[in-house]
Copies of this chain bind each other. A is one copy, B any other.
Amino acid sequence: MNEGCLLVLSGPSGCGKGTVVKRLLERDPKLRLSVSMTTRVPREGEVDGVSYHFVTKEQFDRTVEQGGAMEYARCGNGDCYGTPAAPVKEWREEGMDVILEIDIQGYRQVKEKAPDAVGIFIMPPSFGELSRRLHERGTESEEKIRQRLKTGKEEIRCAGEYQYIVVNDALEDAVDQIEAILKAEHAKTEAMRTIIEEVLNDAQTISQ
């Protein structure tokens, strides 16, 4: 059986990453979402193992020291976030495709450890639309939104580091495109080495 793909999805706040991931998981039963670990305290409604793996500072540091994180970050406020390596490895070995929803710093670390990771940048149809979506949420101050847009601009400047860019204009179209990318990645020659060997072995038997 072939190993599953590792997809990394990034994109600016407001691009609709979360909704895209949710829809992908609904549509594709062979896709698994990596759950990050964090040292911050759970917010109301967050479930351990679903929203995040909530860990102590000691557990986090030990995992990182033992090479058990695919990527991690320590925030200015002291909170730490990271992607546990073990479930990603296990799922891929079982032939499942795995999705990480992380930022560009995380993506760069993942690419170091797993060069075969496939980076997809979710792009808003326009910057005006990104701004509109952030305002529409109606939960944040103008100052906070301005900060998010500034960060978003920086992130879009780095979009060229990803292999694919998917514009999230209509949700189902964006999800279709990511499914096509997954399907194409499965047909990549590197993923199909065994079939070449199998057919050639078969040819050997038949020629004899």
Contacts and interface: CB of A to CB of B under 8 A. Distances in A.
A56 B167 CA distance: 49
Q: Is the interface of A mostly helix, strand, loop or mixed?
A: helix
Interface of A: 120-121, 123-124, 126-128, 131, 149, 152-153, 156-157, 159-160, 162-167, 176-177, 179-181, 183-185, 187-189, 192-193, 195-196, 198-200, 202-203, 205-207
Given A128-B206, A198-B126, A206-B128, A164 B188 contact: yes
A191 to B, nearest CB: 8
A164 B189 contact: yes
Contact of A183 (B126, B162, B184, B187): B184
Given A153-B200, A180-B181, 7 more contacts: A149-B207, A156-B196, A156-B203, A164-B192, A165-B189, A177-B184, A179-B180
B165 A195 contact: yes
A188 B205 CA distance: 40
A57 to B, nearest CB: 37
A131 B206 CA distance: 9
A127 B203 contact: yes
A62 to B, nearest CB: 37
- Residue of A120, A160, A163, A180 ringed by the most chain B CB atoms within 10 A: A180
B183 A123 contact: no
Contact of A187 (B181, B195, B198, B203): B181
